[in-house]
Structures are given as C-alpha cells and as structure tokens.
Amino acid sequence: MIEESDRDIVVLDYGIGNLASAHRALVHLGANARLVRRPEDAQGAIGVVLPGVGAFGRSAEALASSGLIEVARAAVGSGVAFLGICVGLQLLFEGSEESPGIDGMGVLAGVVRRLPPGTKSPQIQWNVLRPVRGRPARMVSGLPEDPWMYFVHSYAPEVGPATVATCDYGGEITAAIEQGHVWGTQFHPEKSGTLGLGVLANFVEFAAARAGVAAL
C-alpha cells in the first residue's frame, strides 16, 4: 500500500534566498509538496526540487553544509525525478565562472558562464523559450509553442547535449535541460504565471509516473 508520504515532492530548503516560493507553487497545484531542512526528512519522496538564488559559491557551500547535497546526489543516482531551478540548475554542473575553485555537483559536464558581453546583467525579464531541434522537452508538454518564462540571472550553463531549450539574450544561452530523470530550468517556473505552473505540473506528473503513483 502506498502511504501519503510516498507521493511527496520535497523542496530542499538549505537557507539560501526565498526557497519557499517553489514550494508554494507546487502546493497551489495540489501536489503533496513539503519543504525539508534535514536529509532524513526527504526519505520516501517521489521527486526532489532544488531551487536556488544568488551566488553559485555561497549556494554550493550552503547546500553542502546543510547535508542536503546528499539528498540531491541520492535522487540523481537512484533515478528519482529531480528538478533544479535557476542556481539549482547551475549547481548540477562542474563549476561556475562566478565562483572559481568552488565545485558543483558534476552531474552535467560543463561550466556555467557569465552572460554574453554587451548584455545587461542580470537578465531580469520575460524571455521566450526556443526548443532545441530533435530534443523534445517533456517539461513543456502541453504548453503553447515558444512559451514565455521569467528569468533573473547573470550566469547560465553552456549549451550542451542536455540542453532542450534556449533563449536569446545577446546570443543563445541554455534555458532548460533534461537528461533522463534530471530536469533543470534557468528560468523561474514558480514566477512565470500559468505557463510556469504548467512546467511544474509536468514535473509532478513525471515524478509520479516514475514512482508508479497518482500525481495529485
């Protein structure tokens, strides 16, 4: 028998910025979502969300010191649905130009780079997602073509094999990644209105399907 806690999406609260906004958006959708501050409280979750705002280095250090980096690593390693948001996406990579010498999780190859020269930094605006040809993104399934999402960032991952959507900001930059059960958005779905909620709803459905339980 599946217990109520075995349908939970956990949002990792490691003390950086307003991490509760992603949790509130998931609850608004009707998902069984909860904030966790201790690794043991994440046991049994069908999905893990890693939000993030601010500097890469400070976020990486806070995630490690909280012990929640082990929850993130366990989810990635065991096949549990995983979603990194903004700096949470960046932490999946090997490192960032923003914080030389600070390691990311290394789940994805590559380095997070400063936004292209000549652009206003940070990018604080709505921008349109452009799908990468031949790489259908499950996160935007059912959404209108070329949806607009809200971005707040000064750095972004390099475009690579896991990139499923880009946006144009002085050049092509990574807006979203999917690699198996690991998803990531450089934009903030929780701040992107109805379409952003659609991305989160797709993640909840995806997590539930992988775990074999009802999503909502």
What does the pLDDT look like over 91-102, one tens digit per residue?
999 999 999 999
Q: Find the length of the chain.
A: 216
What does the pLDDT look like over 118-130, one tens digit per residue?
999 999 999 999 9
Which domains are assigned to the chain?
Answer: 4-211 (3.40.50.880)
Q: Compute CA distances 25 → 19, 30, 136, whole Å.
A: 11, 9, 24
Alpha carbon distance 57, 127 (integer Å): 26
Give mean pLDDT, residues 137-157. Answer: 96
Q: Compute CA distances 19 → 14, 15, 165, whole Å.
A: 8, 8, 24
Give mean pLDDT, residues 46-63. Answer: 95
Identify any residues that bridge with 173 across adjacent strands, giving them in sequence order. Answer: 167
Tokens of 103: 């390691």
Give mean pLDDT, residues 181-195. Answer: 97
Which residues carry out catalysis? 86, 188, 190
Identify any residues that bridge with 125 across adjacent strands, giving them in sequence order. Answer: 151
Q: What is the pTM of this model?
A: 0.94
